[in-house]
Amino acid sequence: MSQPSNKSQILEAPFLQANLSPLAFRLSAKHYYKCKQDFICPDKFSVVPYFFLCRSIELSIKARHLKQVRQKTVKDSYGHNLMKAYTALKPKDRILSEMELKVLKKADNIYHDKGFEYFVPEHAMSAYKNFPDLIVLDQIAKNFCKSLETPEN
């Protein structure tokens, strides 16, 4: 399967330029959120739902940034750091409560180091006590996806 190019999704034609990156990121954010909703864990525990939700949140946040700057700038500025990307949002786009912000920070501590993508023995040995509340994380992702549906976003 071929990997998508690292180029921005900008279509250019004489007298026309359309930035498709925000739309593409919004759609992918919704798709990752849907994957989490459809996920049925075959075991007692899985990091997969955490990954789906964090990726959805990341893409939702970045969709907002992409309205102002190009994809490479967003990637270089934030990487997979949810907190850095979130705190750089315009104040009107920072929609999290104080409690949700704590959950996002807890998730980010693991997510930006790919801790939800690979088995990390230390997480298992601590019975995943450092993991964020999955229900709150789900609500955060859901709210970000919903807020992207409004015309100004």
- The domain segmentation of the chain, as residue ranges, is 20-147
Q: Please tell me the distance from the alpha carbon of residue 82 to that of residue 57, in angstroms, as a whole number.
A: 8
The mean of the pLDDT values for the chain is: 89
Would you say residue 144 has pLDDT above 80?
A: yes
More confident residue, 153 or 132: 132
Check residue 91 and give its pLDDT: 94
Residues 116-132 have a mean pLDDT of 94
Tens of pLDDT along 23-73? 899 999 999 999 999 999 999 999 999 999 999 999 999 999 998 988 889
| 7 pLDDT above the threshold of 70 | no
Can you say whether residue 89 is alpha, beta or left, with left for phi > 0 and alpha for psi between -120 and 50 degrees?
Answer: beta
Phi-psi region of 12 (alpha: psi -120 to 50; beta: other; left: phi over 0): beta
**Range with lowest mean pLDDT among 12-16, 17-21, 133-137:** 12-16
pLDDT given at position 4: 55
Q: What is the CATH number of domain 20-147?
A: 1.20.120
Q: What is the pLDDT of residue 83?
A: 98
Looking at residue 148, its pLDDT comes to 76
Residue 11 pLDDT exceeds 90:
no
Mean pLDDT of 133-148: 94
What is the residue whose two structure tokens read 């946040």?
61
